């Protein structure tokens, strides 16, 4: 999860934007932990710090599961528990179960490409919704944005025989309205006399290059998020749930499958937001255990 007024989760060696699938009838379960923080953020395009919050930190523990329906279809699910905290000011920390996400990955093709490797194309459908009655109207300490969502994605992967790989993925997410616990709100230069907030949709893109052979995988990713609408954070104001949240992020990981116990993989990763709009410049560190159950 990236918390910087926005929350994103990934599923270890099985994620919605990678080029891998589980074998038929394979069941995997896992848990991940992530810690991230930021002390500077972009208020619109203005980069600044804020003594009213100081350093904002987030911890996330996520339950992960994946099942191979066939060699071409994998189902995924994840459920995070989130803690947030600010080092300064009067805003109190929050914690709770965030959003449940389910998805399906289907391989459209897998074919030799030149004499160097294999080309794969995968389509993804995913949906999510809040799993608890948290309030999204308390950013930057809210544990989520409180919106139902559905999305689609296309991923193209090239795996070379020598071990290196390239992965490109593009996704689009539709987001439902959010209901606030107040009768009106002000955003993007306009007063709205309603408790319903229309959420802008989101496009995102991920490019990954790395090495994967045997038990070892070393991916390096570059990702962008573009929110298709929404306003900026008002000067000296709190962020709002429908803000235009854009960011560019770099991420590196080390994934290794242990020889014993068999089929237990571990992952360590770090990421950093290098540019953004209405988002914190966060740095994160994560660890994941993912186990394929024997059948």
pLDDT in tens, 166-200: 999 999 999 999 999 999 999 998 999 999 999 99
Provide the pLDDT for residue 183.
95
Given this model, what pLDDT does residue 259 score? 85
pLDDT level of residue 114 (50, 70, 90 thresholds): confident
Q: Is 74 exposed, middle or buried (0-12, 13-18, 19+ CB in 10 A)?
A: buried
Output helix, strand, coil percentages for the chain, rounded to the nearest 5.
0, 60, 40
User: What confidence score (pLDDT) does residue 20 get?
Assistant: 85
- What CATH code would you report for 27-293? 2.40.160.40
pLDDT in tens, 24-35: 999 999 999 999
pLDDT in tens, 249-273: 999 999 999 987 778 999 999 999 9
Strands 56-68 and 27-38, sheet pairing? antiparallel
pLDDT score, position 8: 40
CA distances from 261 to 28, 257, 291, 294 (A): 14, 9, 9, 11
- The pLDDT of 219-225, averaged and rounded, is 96
Mean pLDDT computed over 279-286: 97
Higher model confidence: residue 17 or residue 1? 17
Q: For residue 154, what pLDDT is reported?
A: 96
Average pLDDT over residues 206-231: 95
Query: What confidence score (pLDDT) does residue 46 get?
Result: 95
The pLDDT assigned to 187 comes to: 93
Domain ranges of the chain: 27-293
pLDDT of 118-165, one tens digit each?
999 999 999 999 999 999 999 999 999 999 999 999 999 999 999 999
How does pLDDT run across 34-73, given as a tens digit for each residue?
Answer: 999 999 999 999 999 999 999 999 999 999 999 999 999 9
% residues pLDDT > 90 (the chain): 84
What does the pLDDT read at residue 14?
A: 65
- Rg (the chain; Cα; Å): 20
Report how many helices (DSSP H) and strands (DSSP E) the chain contains, helices first.
0, 19
d(CA 201, CA 174): 5
Residue 1: the pLDDT is 37
pTM: 0.91
- pLDDT at residue 10 above 50? no
Residue-level pLDDT at 9: 38
């Amino acid at each position: 999860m990236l918390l910087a007024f926005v929350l994103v989760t990934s599923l270890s060696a099985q994620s919605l934007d990678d080029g891998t699938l589980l074998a038929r009838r394979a069941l995997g379960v896992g848990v991940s932990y992530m810690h991230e923080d930021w002390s500077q953020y972009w208020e619109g395009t203005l980069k600044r710090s804020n003594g009213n919050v100081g350093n904002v930190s987030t911890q996330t523990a996520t339950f992960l599961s994946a099942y191979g329906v066939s060699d071409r279809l994998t189902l995924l699910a994840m459920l995070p528990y989130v803690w947030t905290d600010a080092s300064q000011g009067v805003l109190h920390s929050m914690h709770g179960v965030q959003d449940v996400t389910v998805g399906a990955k289907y391989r459209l093709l897998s074919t030799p490409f030149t004499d160097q490797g294999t080309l794969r194309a995968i389509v993804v459908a995913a949906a999510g919704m809040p799993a608890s009655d948290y309030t999204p109207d308390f950013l930057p300490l809210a544990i989520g944005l409180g919106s139902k969502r559905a999305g689609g994605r296309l991923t193209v992967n090239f795996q070379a025989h020598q071990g290196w790989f390239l992965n490109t993925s593009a996704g689009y997410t539709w987001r439902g309205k959010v209901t606030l616990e107040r009768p009106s709100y002000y955003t993007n230069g306009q007063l709205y006399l309603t408790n319903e907030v229309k959420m802008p949709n989101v496009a995102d893109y991920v490019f990954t290059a790395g090495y994967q052979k045997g038990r070892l995988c070393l991916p390096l990713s570059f990702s962008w998020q573009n929110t298709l609408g929404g306003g900026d954070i008002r000067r000296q104001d709190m962020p709002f749930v429908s803000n235009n949240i854009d960011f560019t992020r770099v991420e590196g990981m080390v994934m290794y499958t242990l020889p014993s116990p068999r089929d237990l993989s571990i992952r360590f990763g770090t990421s950093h937001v290098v540019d953004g709009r209405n988002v914190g410049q966060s740095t994160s560190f994560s660890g994941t255990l993912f186990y394929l159950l024997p059948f």
